[in-house]
Structure 1
């Protein structure tokens, strides 16, 4: 049986998150419908406390629906591409590989299909974005600045081949003093949906 827990930064997170959110929304619809219809059928009137409770329950259900609609246009990246990069980073303690990162900003969402954190810098792969590559790099640079690593400049690739070549180069050259990738990854996860 596959793992059902959702973990940000793992491959398939976006698609699993959307499926779980659909199930939650369906449960809310059933619950609110039952809370409204069953007491109305038993009491013969909709003017009761259960109707008020059903109306109030629409607010948390709407919150779930808004979250789903915000993510509806995003999908997990290709599995074959992820497996190629995972093979390159496997066993490399100075590198962190993350996938399906949906970064939320004031100006909208951006999706990084994959990113590698190495030597205090972020190398990302973000094809087919509404945001420009420069806007994504600026957002990541701001995150690095917040982590007091402002001397690094993130690199985002739109081509998988270019991203793969970059990761091959990073995997072949172990840094002499690797920077803490876990702190940067934790900061990214905190800004993800």
Structure 2
């Protein structure tokens, strides 16, 4: 405890109930407010009034802030932030990540983000800066220690544009049942998956 607080704990509302804290803090605030006004050559009564109001508000405010930053709340907030960071975008993709399928259609899905665009179109826009790498989301799952990419065409566009995997907008979907099912489907249709490389449909 600071020396001043130890010398006059009632002034600083230490160890008191909330009603007692309010009363003592009001008195202290009024005293300090009046003294300050006198020193400044201002209205002492008005200074005491404002000081008392301010002093009365401090104990309740202090308790509210204390509740908000309690260990339990702080831990919960930290865990929420950690969970968000784990699944948030922009974390890159492992250099040794593999693909869930061995071939891909050079045209993006007609109802997707890059509808009517080809892998080459997106790669060209990435090179020119028309498309930011952060706008090309790469979902992946870590299974048995191996990172497996789900967005084959998007990944190929980024590779064609010469963007290193460390700068990809990677999103870890491990444990998300929707994406786990998507991966199961891709692996089921592609014997021998996952693969180190992929090729375009129809290419040799």
Tell me the TM-score normalised to structure 1 length.
0.28
Tell me the TM-score normalised to structure 2 length.
0.27
Q: Which has the higher strand share?
A: 1
Larger of the two Rg values belongs to structure:
2
